Amino acid sequence: MVCRTPPTQRIAKLRTTDAGPEKLCIKCMDWWPADTEFFYADPKGAAGLYLYCKACYLEHVRPSAARRILPAIPPVSITAELAAMKVFP
């Protein structure tokens, strides 16, 4: 396996502070407490947490997943014919 990032440019993604362990969000580059309040759980990630904080995940990952979902079926308009059938109150 080839590492593409030179060792001098690697950033530690976990650190311990007086407040407890913190994890770096690689999207916003902010340090957040390393717990499930700020990061989604990921068994393969560092400390068992996802790479992005929850805010960045919702901003970055969710919209791309929404684009892959088929578009919603447009609502059916109530026509005079359907109204005459008394399908709708």
In a domain, 41, yes or no: yes
Q: What is the value of pTM for the model shown?
A: 0.57
Whole-angstrom distance, CA of residue 28 vs CA of residue 14: 15
Structural domain including 25 reads 7-85
In a domain, 79, yes or no: yes
Query: 53-71, pLDDT tens digit by residue?
Result: 999 888 877 666 655 655 5
Q: Number of structural domains, the chain? A: 1
- Cα angle for residues 77, 80, 81 (degrees, 5° grid): 95
In a domain, 66, yes or no: yes
Query: 3-53, pLDDT tens digit by residue?
Result: 555 554 566 788 998 989 999 999 999 999 999 999 999 888 768 898 889
In a domain, 1, yes or no: no
In a domain, 57, yes or no: yes
In a domain, 2, yes or no: no
